[in-house]
Amino acid sequence: MGRKTNLPKPSGNLYSGYLPEGYISALRSGSDLIKSGDYSTAESYLTKMAFKYHDGNLLFVLFLADALFLQGRLEEAEKLYRDLIEITVFYEHPHHGLALILLKTNRASEAEQHIRMAKPKMGGEIPEYLPPLK
Do 38 and 7 form a contact (C-beta atoms < 8 A)?
Answer: no
Mean pLDDT for the stretch of residues 10-25: 71
Residue 112 CB: number of other CB atoms within 10 A?
Answer: 13
Q: How many residues does the chain have?
A: 134
Which percentage of the chain shows pLDDT scores above 90? 57
DSSP letter at 10 equals P
Q: What is the CATH number of domain 23-117?
A: 1.25.40.10
Question: Which pLDDT does position 26 carry in this prediction?
Answer: 93
Higher pLDDT, 16 or 45: 45
pLDDT number for residue 12: 67
**8 A C-beta contact, residue 7 and residue 79:** yes
Q: What's the confidence (pLDDT) of residue 70? A: 97
- pLDDT higher than 80, residue 133: yes
Confidence class for position 3, pLDDT limits 50, 70, 90: very low
- How far is residue 106 CA from its own chain's centroid? 21
Give the start-to-end residue ranges of the domains of the chain.
23-117
pLDDT band at 14 (very low <50, low <70, confident <90, very high): low
Residue range 14-29: average pLDDT? 78
